[in-house]
Amino acid sequence: MRNAQRILAALAVLGALHLVILLAGFVAPYDPAAQNRDFPFAPPTRIHFVDAYGRAHLRPFIYSLSVRSDTVNEYEEARDKSYPVRFFIQGPAYKLAGLLPLHVHLFGVEGPAQIFLAGTDGYGRDQFSRILYGGQISLAAGLLATGISLLLGLVVGCVSGFYGRWIDESAMRLVELFLVLPWLYFLLAVRSFLPLHISPTQTFLLLVAVIGTIGWARPARLVRGIVLSAKGRKYVIASRGFGASDYYILRRHVLPHTYGVLLTQAALLVPQYVVAEVTLSFLGLGLSEPAPSWGNLLANLQQYNVLISYWWMFAPALALVIVSLGYLQLANAVHELQSGSI
């Protein structure tokens, strides 16, 4: 079935991406904070398979970079020595997924050459590594905030639909408000009231909490609809006749119907929230230097000279688009699957 294939494809791409980002320490060749003041704004390192003598090699290799004399930020390859790209190479220490201390990296080159797959920024920091580490922050923020929104939406939807009357009325008014709210204005305002100078961890948690309160409204409304329709079913009435508590009825008869909706909403919310975190960090109200986030990586582009000359600084945008695309495809496919089976 085409739908199932689409779901699998989307899941595969997303899964691979999330795995790579989770294992950022392993996949990234360098420490994201490591600066190379000699090589600011170096372009992405060219990978060669054919050497200066015209010989082809199976193993890709690179040349070391040297600064072109008398110019700023212009580099050329030093073709005297080639550095083969090695895999599972020993490199700077890191903690895998924040837990396991390791030295081995997926790929890299022997010093003093450096492999900058996505170029470097103004401080000479490897962008590829920063994108991977930054992905950890941005994706984690998106996923956690989605969890918060879904939980909020589930609880409000259940209580509202189940107990009805004034609880329902007031909850639905609130839902209407949140659906129409211009979220970025709301977010900026809330963020502005909170202290600007707090630790990165606190900033992150704060960010997640605030973003998570934007999008609970739509899931709440959908869950409420499901609860309302399930509430009136005869088998729910029969259940009451056996003495079932409200909680039992919600858990066994109503909740199972919500899973599909919650899944679709999750697939829609995650990319939105990742973009929200990226936007906030981009504007300077989210994660700030030196902690990498796709947002503050992209913020470099706000400088005119960076925008014009250093196209590789757009790379985090590509990662963002892939994430969005993957989740949106997943959402579409799940939605179609659902409406087909109902």
Binding footprint of other proteins on the chain (CB under 8 A): 177, 179-186, 188-196, 233-235, 237-245, 248, 252-253, 256, 271, 275, 278-279, 282-285, 298, 301-302, 304, 307-308, 311, 314, 317, 320-321, 324-325, 328-329, 332
CB of 276 to other proteins, least distance (A): 9
232: which DSSP letter? T
Q: Residue 150 or 249: which CB sits closer to other proteins?
A: 249
**CB 63, CB 76: distance < 8 Å:** no
Q: Residue 207 or 275: which CB sits closer to other proteins?
A: 275
CB of 122 to other proteins, least distance (A): 17
Separation in Å, CA 320 to CA 135, 225, 325, 327: 9, 33, 9, 11
**CB 90, CB 104: distance < 8 Å:** yes
Distance (Å, whole) CA 305 – CA 282:
17
Instruction: Read off φ and ψ for residue 32, nearest 5 degrees.
Output: -65, -20
CB of 57 to other proteins, least distance (A): 35
Separation in Å, CA 313 to CA 118, 121, 279, 297: 8, 7, 16, 8
Q: Residue 72 or 180: which CB sits closer to other proteins?
A: 180
Residue whose tokens read 């797959």: 117
Q: Residue 150 or 187: which CB sits closer to other proteins?
A: 187
Q: Residue 90 or 339: which CB sits closer to other proteins?
A: 339
